[in-house]
Structure 1
């Protein structure tokens, strides 16, 4: 069951933290901090980027490649922290693509876009 503060499932959080070498006890706080930032900027994202509805509590924003670098800079995330957050959002997007039977489309999107999972909860 996903944490209500961010739309990333627990198993994905563990995997992303391990792959990016970020302490697992630190990653939930990072994801929450990023989620607050994404919610604050949601109106801008809705105007500027394609949005895909997810099967759960998330919508996905398909931003330009490199958007995670900009977010990381704005939030002063280390390279590893930014990589862990990016991996978590991408992995959740891929998992939801399988749930929606749209795996190929979602994987192709990740090749050319940065995907941001934004909670549909206020």
Structure 2
């Protein structure tokens, strides 16, 4: 899938002109109501066809939708990480079948590019988590066949 190469540590470029010009852009996503890492959000915004200001709104709507189905994810999918950090209390990351984000996008009534932006953000979050947990290669391999879903706590 495209958009997985984050150029090493995945920090993105915080000085991107379109992010700085967009007054609705909020890099502190924990306070924005979704679990996606701020750097993952910036990378996803840079590679997706939606504005950085629109992406947090999409992530909040998706997280609300996903939280309502958390028990289903616990029963049906592989949970590869449950955050125990103070910042991520209750956040769980799952590997789901390829095409899962298309289904979620349909359920939420999103356009293809909006759905793709959500998939990329969750994917980048998993990759950043993999770097932090020293499991990056494992997660990169998993993403060749599956997609990531991050659900806030």
Q: Secondary structure at the match of 2:113?
A: helix
- The equivalent residue for 2:132 is 99
Contact kept in structure 1, 2:130 and 2:136, CA below 8 Å: yes
Higher fraction of helix: 1
Structure 1 window deviating more from structure 2 (26-35 vs 57-66): it is 57-66
Say if 2:30 is the partner of 1:3.
Answer: yes
TM-score by length of 1: 0.91
Unaligned regions of 5+ residues in structure 1, if any?
Answer: none
Matches within 5 A, 1:1-122: 2-4=29-31, 5-55=33-83, 56=85, 57=88, 58-119=91-152, 121=153
Greater CA radius of gyration, 1 or 2? 2
Q: Secondary structure at the match of 1:77?
A: coil
Q: Secondary structure at the match of 1:111?
A: coil
| Superposed displacement of residue 2, structure 1 | 4.0
| Superposed displacement of residue 9, structure 1 | 1.9
Contact kept in structure 2, 1:93 and 1:115, CA below 8 Å: yes
TM-score by length of 2: 0.73
The size of the alignment, in residue pairs, is 120
What's the C-alpha RMSD, in Å, of the aligned pairs? 1.4
Equivalent-residue separation in structure 2 for 1:106 and 1:33 (angstroms):
25
Structure of greater relative contact order (alpha carbons < 8 Å, 6+ residues apart)? 1
